[in-house]
Amino acid sequence: MNTVVSDAGPLIGLARINRIELPRELFGSLIIPPAVFDEMKVSSTRPGAQAIAEAVKAGWINILPLKKKAAAKGLLSLVDIGEAEAIQLAIEQKAAFLLIDDKKGRKVAKRLGLRIVGIGGLLIAAEQSGLIENVAPVIDDLARAGYRLSSALSQRIIELASG
């Protein structure tokens, strides 16, 4: 399997709607930097925190420290620490892609030559591979859980998934 690095947002969103297994089923495993792990607050009682903690304990979400922390710090004027470390880790690991939804983070990652996928792309792949029957109810669940996707983006995801 190719290396996939993830930012916190998509994992938190999926965990909140009890769909944290989708990245594992699609990619086998993920790697995250320490700052992303910290952002997910797995020791808290926040919705989804326990599911993420279990994924880390099961070993399919792996925490990997950065080799070049200074490079990530150089990105802090553009993005927050989680996105900066995720971008830097994706560069260091020559990741197949970075799972990220943060708009600024996506822009910086693209500028640095990274391939990116958001939660929408993950859901499209999950439907097309038969892991979920229909993306529309999953998008509705994400919206109810407070995950922000514009109505235009939600509609586009639904259209692309059904093919």
Domain 4-162 falls in which CATH fold?
Rossmann fold (3.40.50)
Helix pair 119-128, 135-144: axis angle to 10 deg? 150
pTM of the predicted model as reported, rounded to 2 decimal places = 0.93
Residue extents of the structural domains in the chain: 4-162
Amino acid at 139: I
The dihedral formed by the CA atoms of 101, 105, 110 and 113, expressed in degrees to the nearest 10: -120
Tell me the C-alpha to C-alpha distance, in Å, between residue 149 and each of 110, 138, 141, 145: 20, 12, 11, 11
User: pLDDT tens for residues 73-132?
Assistant: 999 999 999 999 999 999 999 999 999 999 999 999 999 999 999 999 999 999 999 999
Residue 1 pLDDT > 60, yes or no? Answer: no
Our separate counts of H helices and E strands in the chain read 10, 5
For 101-112, the pLDDT digits (tens) are 999 999 999 999
Identify residue 87 by its one-letter amino acid code: I
pLDDT at 40: 83
Could you tell me what percent of the chain has a pLDDT over 90?
86
| Residue whose structure tokens are 């607050």 | 41
Angle at 65 between CA 62 and CA 66, to 5 degrees: 130
Q: What is the pLDDT of residue 41?
A: 80
Indicate the range of 7-11, 24-28, 51-55, 92-96 predicted with least confidence. Answer: 51-55
